[in-house]
Amino acid sequence: MKIKNIEVNFDFFDADDAERFENAAKVVVKQCEEKKQENLSYSEAIRQECIVIEDFFDKVFGEGTSQKLFEGKKNLVEHIKTFEDIVKAKQEKRKDLQNTFDRYMPNREQRRNNKFNRNKR
């Protein structure tokens, strides 16, 4: 998969990858809430939020990923947009999977009808 033109070895349908993503996303939410409680200057708040997001990318996609993505810059808008893009990608993959299930797994009523109709023959 690609993030900002950086190829990463990650699959939303792999249980281990998905678990790393879920755990790291929870940490982002928790740490962002904690940072709001701290009395930081504006610039330090930006820096800390960026570090939280960088940690997410390194934990999920491997050490050094954040350096490749952000090149050491602490631009909060860029960090948040990249984080939002990966969250949206996850949602799209889940939607794709659900659509596949819906196509290939008829609902319960359809299965019963098919079974009933087969027994009549």
Reported as a single tens digit per residue, the pLDDT across 19-70 is: 999 999 999 999 988 888 888 999 999 999 999 999 999 999 999 999 999 9
Per-residue pLDDT reduced to its tens digit, 5-27: 899 999 999 999 999 999 999 99
Q: How many residues does the chain have?
A: 121
Q: What's the token pair of residue 73?
A: 């810059």
DSSP helix/strand/coil, 69: helix
- Sorted by where each begins, the domain ranges of the chain are 13-120
For 92, 93, 105, 106, the CA distances from 99, given in Å and listed in that order, are 10, 10, 10, 12
Cα separation values, 55 from 4, 25, 32, 79, 89, Å: 17, 10, 12, 11, 19
Structure tokens at 95: 């939607």
pTM: 0.79
